[in-house]
Amino acid sequence: MKETSIFTQAVHGGERAPRPDFRPVPTPIYRSSSFVYDSLQDLDDVFSGSKVGYVYARYGNPTVHAFEMAVAALEGAEDAVAYSSGMAAVYAALMAAGVRADRPVVCAADVYGATYALLAKTLAELGIATRFVDITNLAEVDAAIKEAQPTAVLCEAISNPLMKVADIPRLGEIAHRNGAQLLVDATFATPYLLRSLYCGADFAIHSATKYLAGHGDVLAGVVAASNERAALMREQLKVFGANLGPEEAWLALRGIKTLPLRMREQCANAQKVADWLTSQPQVARVNYPGLPEHPQYSLAASLFGGAGYGAMLSFDMQGGTREAVFGFMQRLRLIQPATTLGDVYSLVLYPAMSSHRALGPELRAELGIGEGLVRMSVGIEAVDDIIADLQQALAAS
């Protein structure tokens, strides 16, 4: 073949070098939108599914798959499917569970604001109805499921922002008895505290943006489920395309390596912070499943098997005003007032301003999300430093 031009050399030079006979220890970032094979028959076999491989990034990517395998291992699941965000994962699980206009959803009233909005607005506009229930009232849940005949029952293992704990084994029984599937958003619990699928859930959903990745530098979501459900999710993902990118998957995969270490420290820190907050005069009420006065304390103890009670808590400031909350949050020096959770850093958030803003004041009040409620994600810093920061910020309240 005649020597190629510099234009061609610039494009192809260096590519398709001999295959290495070594493997990097950590999975590398496969930053490629497509994959080629020596034989077109191989490509055809990968397309048909008779050969394992990758053809196009929306169908799968090796780095993303490594992250999915890690999550499946942590959840004790047959498979897991990654998404570009936690909300994409929530949406994907609902779609795979078969929500349609004639198959509604029963959902916990206390859930992340965007999940609430997805159901109460976006899906409602498509004719998919949702019945919101107090997920801790099993008689109410049972009655709602019998009446609505949903295809999906959705709840958070530990709820955002009130830290209600869902009785997943009982909810699984009730859902299955009525032909529904149970979808558990286990973002706050993580597989360190709870393996939702072992407890009776059909889909375990995570915003991997939070504890799984853990360092505040990535947006990601993932759903763990059976092979059959995951295959359906992959087929659906191919056409709706909310794929996780390889860089994000790599960061999340790296984050997972320290998930148990971080969670062990964060749960221990959160318990101490919650205990301390209960005795502060500026604090009217603390929501934390590890406090004996929490309504689901013993359920949490048995569900989480003594591993801890999570690292999320919320508390109502005395007076319950936005001014009191703003003043407190602005005085914090170490703890960051950031709109996220589950990072190594301690974080506070004002649900009325951010996570549950879209609900509006009336609905928030109805759900028990007061104007004085502060949500806190306890990090891995020394707990004495976290408490000292809270103390100085509360002192001026």
Ligand X SMILES: Cc1ncc(COP(=O)(O)O)c(C=O)c1O
Binding site for ligand X (CB under 6 A): 85-87, 90, 112, 114-115, 156, 160, 185, 187, 207, 209, 219, 221
Amino acid at 23: R
User: Are the beta carbons of 75 and 319 closer than 8 angstroms?
Assistant: no
Check if 51 is active-site: no
- Beta strand pairing call for 312-317 and 79-83: unpaired
**Least distance from ligand X to the Cβ atom of residue 153, Å:** 16
User: Are the beta carbons of 94 and 122 closer than 8 angstroms?
Assistant: no
User: Are the beta carbons of 188 and 112 closer than 8 angstroms?
Assistant: no
Query: What are the two backbone dihedrals, phi and then psi, of residue 181, each rounded to the nearest 5 degrees?
Result: -105, 150
Task: List strand residue ranges (DSSP E) for 63-156, in order.
Answer: 79-83, 105-108, 130-133, 152-156
Residue 260: strand, helix, or coil: helix
**Least distance from ligand X to the Cβ atom of residue 36, Å:** 33
For residues 166-196, one letter each, b for 16 or more C-beta atoms within 10 angstroms of the residue's C-beta and e for the rest, the string is bbbeebbebbeebebbbbbbbbbbbbbbbbb
**Least distance from ligand X to the Cβ atom of residue 371, Å:** 20
**Least distance from ligand X to the Cβ atom of residue 2, Å:** 53
Residues 6+ apart with CB under 8 A from 6: none
**Least distance from ligand X to the Cβ atom of residue 29, Å:** 20
Cα–Cα distance, 44 to 314 (Å, whole number) = 53
Catalytic residue among 185, 202, 343, 389: 185
Q: Which of 200, 193, 196 is nearest to 176 (CA)?
A: 200
Cα–Cα distance, 39 to 336 (Å, whole number) = 54
The shares of helix, strand and coil residues in the chain, as percent rounded to the nearest 5, are: 45, 15, 45
**34 pairs with which residues across the strands?**
56
Task: Find the residue with minimal CB distance to ligand X.
Answer: 86
Check if 288 is active-site: no
| Nearer CB in complex with ligand X: 142/156 | 156
**Least distance from ligand X to the Cβ atom of residue 221, Å:** 5
Catalytic residue among 131, 164, 195, 210: 210
Check if 210 is active-site: yes
| Nearer CB in complex with ligand X: 242/284 | 242
Helix axes 246-256, 62-75, angle to 10 degrees: 30
**Least distance from ligand X to the Cβ atom of residue 161, Å:** 9
Q: For residue 222, give the H/E element and its range.
A: strand 221-225
Catalytic residue among 112, 116, 309, 350: 112
Catalytic residue positions? 58, 112, 185, 210
